[in-house]
């Protein structure tokens, strides 16, 4: 699932309870748009010269891929490994991110950044290993194009968002909406529950 299609399936409702299955509902009202304006922005590769899909698998093209990976890490890390691959693949005009493309990009990423696999099995790319345990920031989308799926947000970042919703009746719903997500599917809600801080950190 891409950043353009967040985990938007079930209506959270005013009380945070899951509703019936419905089509995705983007944040279109004036109140919804107020959720935007945050610091998280998708990577802009406009400043990188020499992006060439025809050279993607060439050995001497690794320098360009390294520059692209470092730019994504600087702008978006922690970032889901699949989302990192998608960012770079789309910048090359590749419509699909197959095994060879993924392996090529992740080989470069492992050489310049830290890849951490959660207990859920999801892997995220971080600037370095030291940042993982110290992370306490929730980054909210700058625009609708910057909205991420809950599955594409690292657990420490989700936890930080939930801690910031201590005065909300349903902190999980509050956190999701700050990330620009109006509706959640059950998998996304389960992931938010896994990220929920220890008892006493938020109000039940």
Domain total of the chain: 2
- Domain membership of residue 91 (yes or no) is yes
Residue 147 shares a structural domain with residue 176 = yes
Tell me, what's the pLDDT at 103?
98
Tell me, what's the pLDDT at 168?
87
Residue 170 shares a structural domain with residue 145 = yes
CA angle 56-73-105, nearest 5°?
25
- Domain membership of residue 43 (yes or no) is no
**pLDDT tens-digit series, residues 46-64:** 999 999 999 999 999 999 9
Tell me: pLDDT of 184 over 60: yes
Picking from 75, 5, 77, 66, the residue whose alpha carbon sits closest to that of residue 44 is: 75
Tell me: pLDDT of 141 over 90: yes
Tell me: pLDDT of 44 over 90: yes
- Domain membership of residue 148 (yes or no) is yes
Among left, alpha and beta (phi > 0; psi -120 to 50; other), residue 189 is alpha
Q: Is residue 25 very low, low, confident or very high in pLDDT (cuts 50, 70, 90)? A: very low
- Domain membership of residue 82 (yes or no) is yes
Q: Are residues 17 and 34 in contact, defined by beta-carbon separation less than 8 angstroms?
A: no
Residue 102 shares a structural domain with residue 76 = yes
Residue 61 shares a structural domain with residue 99 = yes
> Do you know the residue count of the chain?
204
Tell me, what's the pLDDT at 4?
41
Residue 144 shares a structural domain with residue 188 = yes
Q: What is the DSSP string of 49-86?
A: ----GGGTTSGGGHHHHHHHHHHHHHHH-SEEHHHHHH
- Domain membership of residue 201 (yes or no) is no
Structural domain containing residue 179: 10-38+139-195
Q: Is residue 82 very low, low, confident or very high in pLDDT (cuts 50, 70, 90)? A: very high
Tell me: pLDDT of 204 over 60: no
- Domain membership of residue 186 (yes or no) is yes
Residue 32 is inside which H or E element, if any? helix 30-33
Q: Please state, in angstroms and rounded to a whole number, the distance separating the CA atoms of residues 70 and 86.
A: 15
Q: Please state, in angstroms and rounded to a whole number, the distance separating the CA atoms of residues 160 and 139.
A: 9
Tell me, what's the pLDDT at 55?
98
Q: Please state, in angstroms and rounded to a whole number, the distance separating the CA atoms of residues 163 and 34.
A: 20
Chain centroid offset of residue 62 CA = 25
Q: Which residue is listed with tokens 């890390």?
A: 77
Residue 34 shares a structural domain with residue 63 = no
Tell me, what's the pLDDT at 167?
87
């Amino acid at each position: 699932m891409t950043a353009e299609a967040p985990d938007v399936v079930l209506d959270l409702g005013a009380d945070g309870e899951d509703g019936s299955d419905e089509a995705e509902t983007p944040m279109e009202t004036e109140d919804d748009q107020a959720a935007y304006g945050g610091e998280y922005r998708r990577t802009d590769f406009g400043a990188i010269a020499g992006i060439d899909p025809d050279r993607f698998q060439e050995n001497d093209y690794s320098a360009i891929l390294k520059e692209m990976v470092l730019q994504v890490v600087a702008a978006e890390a922690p970032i889901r490994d699949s989302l990192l691959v998608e960012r770079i693949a789309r910048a090359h005009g590749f419509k699909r991110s197959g095994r060879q493309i993924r392996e090529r990009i992740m080989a470069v990423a492992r050489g310049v950044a830290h890849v951490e696999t959660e207990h859920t099995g999801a892997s995220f790319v971080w600037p370095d290993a030291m940042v993982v345990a110290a992370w306490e920031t929730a980054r909210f989308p700058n625009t609708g194009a910057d909205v991420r799926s809950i599955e594409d947000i690292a657990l420490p970042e989700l936890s930080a968002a939930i801690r910031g919703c201590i005065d909300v009746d349903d902190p999980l719903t509050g956190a999701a909406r700050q990330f620009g997500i109006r509706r959640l599917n059950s998998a996304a809600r389960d992931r938010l529950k896994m990220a929920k801080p220890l008892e006493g950190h938020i109000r039940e």
